[in-house]
Amino acid sequence: MKQQQIRLRERPDGWPSEETFSYEEVEVKEPTQDEVTLKTRYLSVDPYMRGRMNDTKSYVEPFQIGEPLNGGIVAEVTKTKSEKLKVGDIVSGALNWQEYNTVPADTVRKLDLHGAPMSTALGVLGMPGLTAYFGMYHIGEPKEGETVVVSGAAGAVGSIAGQLAKRKGAHVVGIVGSKEKADYIRSIGFDEAIDYKEKHVGQALEQACPNGIDVYFENVGGEISDQVWPLLNSFARVPVCGAISSYNLEQGEEDIGRRVQGYLVKARVKMQGFLVGDFQSHYKEAYADLSRYLQNDELQFEETIHEGFDKVPEAFLGLFKGKNIGKQLVKVEK
Ligand code: NDP
Ligand 1 centroid distance, CA of 47 (Å): 6
Contact 40, 58 (CB under 8 A): no
pLDDT at 112: 86
Mean pLDDT split into 10-residue runs, the chain, 334 residues: 97 97 98 98 98 92 97 98 97 98 98 91 98 98 98 98 98 98 98 98 98 98 98 98 98 94 98 98 97 96 98 98 98 89
Do 99 and 133 lie in a common domain? no
Please report whether residue 226 resides in a domain.
yes
111 and 134 part of one domain: no
73 shares its domain with 145: no
Q: Which residues contact 194 (CB under 8 A, 6 or more apart)?
A: 173, 174, 175, 176, 182, 201, 204, 205, 208
Please state the atom number of ligand 1 nearest to the C-alpha of residue 328: 2
Count up the domains in the chain and report the number: 2
Please give the distance, rounded to the nearest whole angstrom, from the Cα atom of residue 78 to the centre of ligand 1.
34
Can you tell me which atom of ligand 1 is nearest the CA of 222? 19
Range of the domain at 196: 127-278
Residues 9 and 75 in one domain: yes
For 145, left (φ over 0), alpha (ψ -120 to 50), or beta? Answer: left
Residues 274, 131 within the same domain: yes
Instruction: Tell me the per-residue pLDDT of 154-172, one tens digit each, with 9 for 90 and over.
Output: 999 999 999 999 999 999 9
Closest ligand 1 atom, residue 325 Cα: 9
Residues 108, 181, single domain; the answer is no
Whether 134 is in a domain gets the answer yes
**226 and 317, same domain (yes or no):** no
CATH code assigned at 107: 3.90.180.10
Contacts of 141 (CB under 8 A, 6+ apart): 215, 237
- Test site for ligand 1: of 183, 188, 220, 278, most ligand atoms within 8 A of the Cβ: 220
Q: Whose CA is nearest to atom 11 of ligand 1?
A: 322
Helices (H), 30-126: 48-52
